A and B are shown apart, each in its own frame.
Chain A
Amino acid sequence: MNIIEVEHLHKVFRIPHEKRNTLFETIAGLLRPPVYETFHALKDINFTVEEGEMLGIIGQNGSGKSTLLKILARILVPTEGLVRVKKRVTPFLELGVGFNQDFTAAENIRIYGIIMGLSPREIDEKSDYILEFADLVKFRDTKLRNFSSGMQVRLAFSTAIQTRPQILLLDEVLAVGDQEFQKKCLEELERFKREGVTIILVSHDLGAVKQHCERTLLLDHGVQVMIGETDEVVERYEKVG
């Protein structure tokens, strides 16, 4: 069954030349129509994702990978075309969204967990395990502002991984923590895969894409270059450069 269907998707950003930031400027400028520059971030994207599949998305910086993920996550609205997502999406676009530096680790697990869709009950049950997984048990009641950035990312990932996603969107978040922590993360990812979670992985790490994704989508300047077997797509990408 197709769990994600994307047809003729376009995304155009409008970048105004002169930004009208106040009501006054807007009223004063009513007679002069604003001049916009348009940026075509995605051009005619078409693909489907099967339930339980792991799809990679690769391409250079500015090729539209993150924009595509944001549209799938309902954060951005398509300019044209159709996007059908049939189950709940859990986006890991950035880790630790909503972290508050003035609160303790335990409090932040609660806030972030709820943002990521956990129920308060699940958080109560899992917060010990989350701290353990992040290797931060000692710092349960330490304010987040005293954490290093590595510790914060570990806390965020350990919390986020506790959600029970149906569709998981990953944007470069695997590159966190030290080797050992990365290994743990990949194990969790494999567990999700075994449990039949549909995963979309955006990455520059071609090795990881090759290892985990059956199929891959290659984007270049917003254009869908090719979608198919990961090995072929990666080969094409490496050839084109």
Chain B
Amino acid sequence: MRIQHIKELYDYRNLIWVLAWTDFKERYKNSVLGYFWSLLEPLLMLGVLYIVFSNLMKVQVEHYQLFLLQGIIMWSFFTRSTSGSLYALKFKTPLIKKVYFPRDILVISSCITALLMSIFESIVFLVFLLFFMIPLSLNILFLPVIIFLYFIIALGTSLVLSALNVFYHDIQYIWALVLQVGFFATPVIYPLNVFPQYLQDILKYNPLAQVIYLARDVTLYSKVPNLASFLFVIFIAMIILGIGYAIFMRLEPRFAEEV
């Protein structure tokens, strides 16, 4: 059944892409500054956080500007994909009620939209990389794999959220809270070693923390990815995707009657 489903998704690849691409375009269509906005947002955030954390909190991290920027871009991907997916089914009610296609397509394409936005934002990151002349190594070739695993984690989470949000309207509020806590439990603006040891021992099981560490290691610090974290992330990504699909598929038959 799994293989069959993947084949079906492949048959619908054009639909996945057109939905993702139109959402991406639509986001900037009606704003005066257009695409420029999406570059301005991470830059502004970077400026504020950099001033606060490097001067007031005295965070001591090598290449802190880039550490911060990569953290922000990667964290935004997760919040965008999951929060966007909360409405992936609801905002497409006419599609669900009038045509057939595998419903997970809506969630997949919503995650792809988030990914497109993050890739676009990464232009700023690239400029910074060049500007600060950070030496890169071949280890950066691991980055696409890490991003792929990150995408899978976001997709699995989004599948659960989108399906539940059809039936329970308060999921969006609960999720906003979870994200707020998650932001501080993830090394976006500081490394986890600012916490006392017992907290670090708990937080290292946060898969997002591991993903962001891996990504930073291969881009900013020319390190080979840590095998243990790498395997941990692969394992977690599979589990989350599995759970995501199990819940989504169970609720799917009722979507057309409930949205």
Contact = CB atoms under 8 A, between A and B. Distances in A.
Interface of A: 13, 21-24, 26, 70, 73-77, 89, 91, 93-94, 97-98, 100, 102-103, 107, 110-111, 114-116, 119-120
B169 A98 contact: no
B256 interface: yes
- 8 closest cross-chain pairs (CB), A and B: A22-B170, A23-B168, A74-B100, A77-B253, A97-B98, A114-B18, A94-B98, A93-B98
B136 interface: no
B14 A119 contact: yes
Interface in B159-178: 164, 167-171, 174
Interface string B98-111: 11110000000000
A100 B101 CA distance: 19
23 contacts: A13-B257, A21-B168, A21-B169, A22-B169, A23-B174, A26-B168, A73-B100, A74-B100, A75-B98, A76-B256, A76-B257, A93-B98, A97-B99, A98-B92, A98-B94, A98-B95, A102-B26, A111-B22, A114-B14, A114-B15, A115-B15, A115-B18, A119-B14
Interface string B50-68: 0000000000000000000
Contact of A97 (B14, B95, B167): B95
Contacts of B193: none
Nearest to B254: A77
B29 interface: yes
Contact of B100 (A24, A91, A110, A120): A91
Contacts of A26: 168
A87 to B, nearest CB: 13
Given A13-B257, A94-B94, A102 B30 contact: yes
B170 A23 contact: yes
A91 B98 contact: yes
Given A13-B257, A102-B30, A111-B18, A22 B168 contact: yes
A26 B18 CA distance: 37
Interface residues of B, number: 27
A115 B95 contact: yes
B94 A97 contact: yes
Given A23-B168, A94-B98, A97-B94, A70 B256 contact: yes
Tell me which of A91, A111, A114, A120 has the highest count of chain B C-beta atoms within 10 A of its own C-beta: A114
Given A22-B168, A94-B94, A98-B94, A75 B99 contact: yes
Interface of B: 14-15, 18, 22, 25-26, 29-30, 92, 94-101, 164, 167-171, 174, 253, 256-257
Contacts of B167: 21
Nearest to B174: A23
Given A89-B100, A97-B95, A111-B22, 9 more contacts: A13-B257, A23-B168, A93-B99, A98-B99, A102-B29, A102-B30, A110-B18, A114-B15, A115-B18
Contact of B99 (A13, A22, A91, A120): A91
A91 B95 CA distance: 12
Contacts of B26: 100, 102-103
A73 B99 contact: yes
A115 B18 CA distance: 9
A134 B95 CA distance: 23
Contacts of B95: 97-98, 115
A120 B18 CA distance: 10
Nearest to B16: A114
Contact of A23 (B14, B99, B171, B256): B171
B29 A75 contact: no
B170 A75 contact: no
A24 B256 CA distance: 23
Nearest to A13: B257
A22 B169 CA distance: 5
Contacts of B18: 110-111, 114-115
Nearest to B18: A114
A48 B15 CA distance: 31
A82 B256 CA distance: 19
